[in-house]
Structure 1
């Protein structure tokens, strides 16, 4: 479904991503793990066209998307849940969720999807009229994921969904991520908690200094001595 070929991202003279190539199959959850500064978030942002790549190609469902305008990406079926959540703080919870469906005009289905999001995250329904900026970090992460799902994406890009959250909130959010993946959502997950990322995904890529240095089935990577030593604290 997603084919990334020779992707290169640079900030000034700093090479953040160095000509990486990888793919994500339809219906698959793939984890991209690595230390801070490895280039993981830059990769996701380049796919979503939040930043410009300086080289390489990105194809989604057979179509080259690496040169299209950023605001067209969501219309192609790719939804990004950014690092730091990126909710609209002065809008209510329900208004934020409605923003996720701004390209849709199927009102009845939108209402049904809103109920589905509330089923995933009952806390959002309890706080539907509350300003997003007053939510806790975990609640904002729930909202960011719910907003992305309201666009009915064909692929979900998750950038560090557990960052800064209490363990109980991480557990709840990853329960929903597992459910959504089990329902067939194609997902590319960036997660600093490498063990958690590999436990929920089918395949994984390891990034170091802007390059992909290792790839394999997630179960295989969980048992790889190099991965265990570098990312699993063993």
Structure 2
């Protein structure tokens, strides 16, 4: 199915998500075009992770629409969304700590059976993440936080995503490692993957993003180019510590 360049890769229309009686996401609209890096920033508990989980299908939405490549995916199960090209790197990385690095990476390709393509994608990941390549035989649980984050991104890339959802990739990592992770994210984008990024470090996220949305208590309060939001006094006061 081909979409014209003008139509969004992903569209959320009035998306609502509830945990029991608690409305966590209160009807948001958001769109992503092919090849963009868009970030979603906001305080803890604003509903950002919930939104990513609803797009990936690990959480059900309670109302509104999720349109991916022109079709509704609201009732599509998680594994089918993965097959359709939506991959999530969850907060806390979610790697298999008892498996080796290589086993973790190969888990990302479990929906695929094109052996040659998988090996080519592994080579691509090794080129992009040389630190990961050096540690293929190591048990993933023994890696540093930054290395685990790289493994988590590498694993997601093995599913050949069209849309990569990244939840707090810099969390708990040293500034130098964060810089490295963001270089990797940029490389992934340059390879044609569309990225939706949830990131606590608003300064960094906005600097890298073509566009961004600000989320406050379950609603989108602001949106614009990364550059414009970096200059916005409200954003500076609330998220850039000014």
TM-score of the superposition, structure 1-length normalised? 0.98
Partners of 1:108 and 1:68 in 2: how far apart? 28
- Helix, strand or coil for the counterpart of 1:16? strand
Q: Does 1:151 align with 2:151?
A: no
Partners of 1:2 and 1:11 in 2: how far apart? 23
Residue in structure 1 matched with residue 116 of structure 2 by the alignment: 108
1:168 Cα shift? Answer: 1.1
Counterpart of 1:21 (choices 18, 21, 29) is: 29
1:182 Cα shift? Answer: 1.9
The count of corresponding residues between Structure 1 and Structure 2 is: 234
Counterpart of 2:93 (choices 85, 89, 106) is: 85
Q: Does 1:123 align with 2:131?
A: yes
Counterpart of 2:20 (choices 9, 12, 36) is: 12
Partners of 2:36 and 2:189 in 1: how far apart? 8
Partners of 2:80 and 2:117 in 1: how far apart? 22
Any gaps of 5 or more consecutive residues in structure 2?
1-8
Q: Does 1:60 align with 2:68?
A: yes
1:209 Cα shift? Answer: 0.4
**CA-to-partner distance for each residue in 1:112-145, whole Å, 9 max, x for gaps?**
2111111111111111011111111111100000
Partners of 1:146 and 1:58 in 2: how far apart? 26
**CA-to-partner distance for each residue in 1:64-83, whole Å, 9 max, x for gaps?**
11111122110111010000
Partners of 1:70 and 1:31 in 2: how far apart? 22
Instruction: Describe how 1:223-234 pairs up with structure 2 within 5 A.
Output: 223-234=231-242
Partners of 1:115 and 1:48 in 2: how far apart? 26
1:233 Cα shift? Answer: 1.0
Counterpart of 2:175 (choices 167, 178, 181) is: 167
Q: CA RMSD in A?
A: 0.8
1:89 Cα shift? Answer: 1.1
1:183 Cα shift? Answer: 2.2
Instruction: Describe how 1:167-186 pairs up with structure 2 within 5 A.
Output: 167-186=175-194
TM-score of the superposition, structure 2-length normalised? 0.95
Counterpart of 1:34 (choices 20, 30, 42) is: 42
